[in-house]
Amino acid sequence: MKTDLNTLLTTLYLYLDDRIIPALGFSRRGRPGRPPALTDIELLCLVVAQHLLGIASDRKWIRYASKHLKGMFPNLPQQSGWGKRVRQATGLLSAVITELARDTPSWGEITRLIDSTPVPCGKSRETVKRSDLAGHAGYGYCASHSRYFWGFRLYLICTPDGMPVIWGLANPKIGEREAAQA
């Protein structure tokens, strides 16, 4: 497993460094302050590894990475620094995920599939009245669960082979066609 992970991270690092980051036009030059010890590409590789290994806790992840990946990534931050860097890199992470998805064969397919699931936000009438979501959420019916709910519908549009293209939240009164067009 470790050899496979090392190979994957090395390949991902080179791919990001050679193709994806230059295609995005991303550069840290011109930013104030000293450059971070852990580069953005290294951070992206570590985020991928954390997700692939299924380690949700940042504390456990930093402990695991310090023990098993220190040779590849000698400048690992502490837990607080890790969380701060990951939050700051969410825009870059989103752009990289989109670029990687565009590089797959299924991205160019015309056929798209859409599905939705309810996202309940409240159960009582008092909650509905008090909620900050009152102007956005609404009542809807979920046939697969045979129940009414108050909240949103989460829509996912993906390719036939299952690769997500885009997602969004919408009022349950809006139909799938209108949500897909928006």
Q: Could you report the per-residue pLDDT of 129-180, keeping only the tens digit for each?
A: 888 888 889 999 988 889 999 999 999 999 888 888 888 999 999 888 888 8
pLDDT of residue 149: 93
Dist. CA 177–CA 182, nearest whole Å:
9
Give burial (CB, 10 Å; 0-12/13-18/19+) of 105.
exposed
How many CB atoms are located within 10 Å of the residue 82 CB?
Answer: 21
Instruction: For the chain, give every domain's residue range.
Output: 2-103, 106-181
pTM of the predicted model, to two decimals?
A: 0.67
The DSSP 8-state label assigned to residue 69 in this structure reads S
> Token digits for 27?
């550069």
Q: Are 105 and 165 in contact (CB under 8 A)?
A: no
pLDDT of residue 60: 94
pLDDT of residue 2: 62
> Token digits for 172?
């349950």
pLDDT of residue 28: 67
Q: Where are the alpha helices (DSSP H) in 131-182?
A: 176-181
More confident residue, 1 or 170: 170
Specify which residues 136 forms β-bridges with.
Answer: none
pLDDT of residue 59: 92
Torsion sign across C-alpha atoms 118, 119, 124, 126 = negative
pLDDT, tens only, 4-62? 888 989 998 898 888 888 888 877 666 777 878 888 889 999 998 898 889 999 999 99
pLDDT of residue 156: 93
pLDDT, tens only, 80-121? 889 998 998 888 888 888 888 888 888 888 898 999 999 999
Q: Position of tokens 């607080």?
A: 80
